[in-house]
Structure 1
Amino acid sequence: MAIRTILAALNTVDRAEEIIRIGCRLASRHDAHLVGLYVIPGVRYYATPANTHAAIDINVEQRSYYETHVDQVKQVFEDMIRKEGVRGEWRCVQAESHLMSGVTTAHGMQADLIIAGQTPKEGFDSFEPEFVEHVIMDAGRPVLVVPHEGTFPNVGTHALVAWNSGAEAARAAADAIPLLKQADQTTVVWVNPDEFKGGHLPGSALAEMLARHNINVTSEAFNTGKWEIGDALLTKANALGADLLVSGAYGHSRLREYLFGGVTRHLLDHMTIPVLMAH
């Protein structure tokens, strides 16, 4: 499937410019329409025996923050798509809920690719701490998550595809095909291969499938040993000079990953390059 509509979620205000820049480059590369989505959250009113006004003020302050920055983000978006010659549109949506992920998910369902920023740990942009997770889980679309630090001028020149023979990894690899077709090099790594699932092949069957799409791809087994898998994948990506990591999301339940840790949680917390995730 070709990428013809890209939705850039721009509520991580401090990273909006980088997200727009990546969106423009991908839109230009794929002849796609770029949608800039900015959600102004609603205010959550709730009553408690004490500190009622303080609780309401926190939500009002959050809404005010996004109202204050909307014109700034809109100007950056419109200036950049004009400069890059990209077809696009600006959408500013007033949400009924204080949560912005629901609106982003609803709009993202009608796009081929969603671009969103890594959720920061502090500040107003961290008000919905599981924003990206909700979008990945609920939109049914691949989500390209951009780290909260760094610039990434060449996303997808060398892609690292994490494979574990799971359904989520298969979905991510398939969703990434339009991006991988544009890459100079794609490396498939079968993480801790299981002989009962064809581990002796070290991802070669997946690599052959991708090669039939005219993707320049190699494959190898990748035993992480005592390393945490997410950390091992980021280290491998750095060693290869990869500028895109493709990974399935939440092969285990989100609750299990929240309680015990997991690859998805680690990547979302510690990513150093853009990560394309699908569930």
Structure 2
Amino acid sequence: MPYKDILVFLDATSDTPARLDLAVSLAQEHGARLLGVDVSTPAAFEGRWKDQATGLQDLFHARRNSAHVAGEFWAADRSAGSWKALYAHFADLVIATQRHETNLEAVLPAVPQDVLLSAGVPLIVLPPDWQPQPVGRNIVLAWNASREATRATHDALPLLSRAERVTLFEFAPPADQMESAPGLMADHLRQHGIEAELFTWPDTGENSLLDALFSCLDRQGADLIVAGAYGHSPLFERLFGGVSQDLLHNVSMPVLMSH
């Protein structure tokens, strides 16, 4: 099933134009409607962000019109702290940027983590200062047979089906191969017309899962990670560390995550 509604979060920071460019290009590729949602805080309409904040609607429609993409512009309820005010549950795919110290004041706090955890919609999360480039041509799918990884795989099918190369990455395969069964997932993807190359990294204790994953990304020349998010609770990951937190704050690579 293709993406028919792609939602992009808009704010007054310098990351918005590149994020909007990606959203426009994906909407063109998928024949989707583009939904632009202003997630600026009240503080963004004061001081150094004011001009950018007040110009978001014009920027959105200018980029959308020049690409001949259908779309709608909405503004989030700035007084509501909930992800429910951000319209994410009306989309097939959401595009956001990592939360970082330079955008905390300007962007509503539900972006992106609360949306990822609660909206039931896959997110493409971009690193700060990301520059426009193709995304989804060469995808690495982080696979571990969890509910979250399974959800992310199926949420990413419209992208996987258009990719030139898909790598199914597995770290530390268990003794019981039926537990993760990457070959069976590769066969399932094949039913969707997707040929996936298997990349297995045994856990010898010398590398963390994240180090192994990024080594795979480098070797494969990937431009997108697909991964499940938060098999443990966010509090657990903050206290004890976790791959989801690390991926959500990685500084080099777009990642599609589902929970």
Partner of 1:39: 39
Aligned partners of 2:118, 2:12: CA distance in 1, in Å?
A: 19
Partner of 2:172: 192
Aligned partners of 1:266, 1:126: CA distance in 2, in Å?
A: 23
Partner of 1:221: 200
Match of 1:145 among 125, 135, 141: 125
Q: For residues 120-145 of structure 1, what are the alpha-carbon distances to aligned partners after superposition, in whole Å with 9 as ceiling and x for unaligned?
A: 22344576566311110011011111
Partner of 1:64: 46
Partner of 1:253: 233
Structure 1: which 5+ residue stretches go unaligned? 43-60
Distance change (3 Å), C-alpha of 1:149 and 1:64:
same
1:153 Cα deviation (Å)? 1.8
Aligned partners of 1:183, 1:6: CA distance in 2, in Å?
A: 18
SS at match of 2:76: strand
Aligned partners of 2:59, 2:16: CA distance in 1, in Å?
A: 8
Q: For residues 229-279 of structure 1, what are the alpha-carbon distances to aligned partners after superposition, in whole Å with 9 as ceiling and x for unaligned?
A: 223322321221100100000011111100011001111122411100000
Aligned partners of 1:125, 1:116: CA distance in 2, in Å?
A: 16
Partner of 1:135: 115
TM (normalized to structure 1)?
0.84
Aligned partners of 1:108, 1:205: CA distance in 2, in Å?
A: 32
Partner of 2:161: 181
Distance change (3 Å), C-alpha of 1:117 and 1:123:
closer
Partner of 1:239: 219
Aligned partners of 2:111, 2:242: CA distance in 1, in Å?
A: 18
Contact 1:160 1:187 (C-alpha < 8 Å) held by counterparts? yes
Aligned partners of 1:196, 1:12: CA distance in 2, in Å?
A: 50
Identity %: 30
Distance change (3 Å), C-alpha of 1:126 and 1:160:
farther
Question: C-alpha root-mean-square deviation of aligned residues, in Å?
Answer: 2.2
Aligned partners of 1:114, 1:123: CA distance in 2, in Å?
A: 18
SS at match of 1:82: helix
Structure of greater Rg:
1
Aligned partners of 1:235, 1:12: CA distance in 2, in Å?
A: 34
Partner of 1:75: 58
1:93 Cα deviation (Å)? 3.0
Structure 2: which 5+ residue stretches go unaligned? none
Aligned partners of 1:72, 1:200: CA distance in 2, in Å?
A: 48
Aligned partners of 1:257, 1:93: CA distance in 2, in Å?
A: 29
Aligned partners of 2:82, 2:128: CA distance in 1, in Å?
A: 18
SS at match of 2:236: helix
Structure richer in helix, relative to its length = 1
Contact 1:16 1:73 (C-alpha < 8 Å) held by counterparts? no
Distance change (3 Å), C-alpha of 1:81 and 1:62:
closer
Contact 2:139 2:163 (C-alpha < 8 Å) held by counterparts? yes
SS at match of 1:94: coil
Partner of 1:166: 146
1:14 Cα deviation (Å)? 1.7
Aligned length: 257
Aligned partners of 1:32, 1:200: CA distance in 2, in Å?
A: 33
Distance change (3 Å), C-alpha of 1:9 and 1:121:
same
Contact 1:40 1:94 (C-alpha < 8 Å) held by counterparts? no
Distance change (3 Å), C-alpha of 1:200 and 1:11:
closer
TM (normalized to structure 2)?
0.90
